[in-house]
Amino acid sequence: MSEINVTPMVDVMLVLLIVFMVTAPLLTVGVPVDLPKTRAPALGQDKEPLSVTVAKDGKVYLQKQVVDPETLVAKLQAISQNGYDQRIFVRGDKTVDYGRVMQVMGMLAAAGFTHIGLVTDVVKPDKQ
């Protein structure tokens, strides 16, 4: 019998597919925020960025932990091991005051962080 049996390979591939489908949603980091929509394409990332979130109630989060806005810069400087080249993503709920988000970004810029970006959700072209 000189035929190749591909059934075990298909079984392994289906198991891997299920494993990746289950683990992919668990890899997202952050606080649940209703982000504003935009048509801009996503930026490429070279390493894991730090995430600063301004939630609907105005609280500021560093990754998933609530931080006092006065200690945010000190904690970011302690985390950032590569100096001020650390990429920081600012996520603001679309219902939070625009000034609050800009206040957080201003604190980061005044501290010397230069790679600051705003995070939005991408709008599909058919959903306008």
Q: What is the DSSP annotation of 21-87?
A: HHHGGGG--S----PPEE-PPPPP-SSPPEEEEE-TTS-EEETTEEE-HHHHHHHHHHH-TTGGG--
Q: Are 66 and 60 in contact (CB under 8 A)?
A: yes
The C-alpha atoms of residue 97 and residue 127 are separated, in whole angstroms, by 25
Exposure on the CB side of residue 52, measured as CA atoms within 13 A = 30
- Nearest CA among 45, 31, 50 for reference residue 92: 31
How do the domains of the chain map onto residue ranges? 37-122
Give per-residue pLDDT as tens, 61-108: 888 888 888 888 888 877 776 555 677 888 888 888 888 888 888 888
Give pTM, 2 decimals: 0.57
CATH for 37-122? 3.30.420.270
CB 112 within 8 Å of CB 82: no
pLDDT of residue 70: 84
30-66: pLDDT as tens digits:
566 666 777 766 656 556 678 888 888 888 888 888 8
The alpha carbons of the chain give a radius of gyration, in whole angstroms, of 20
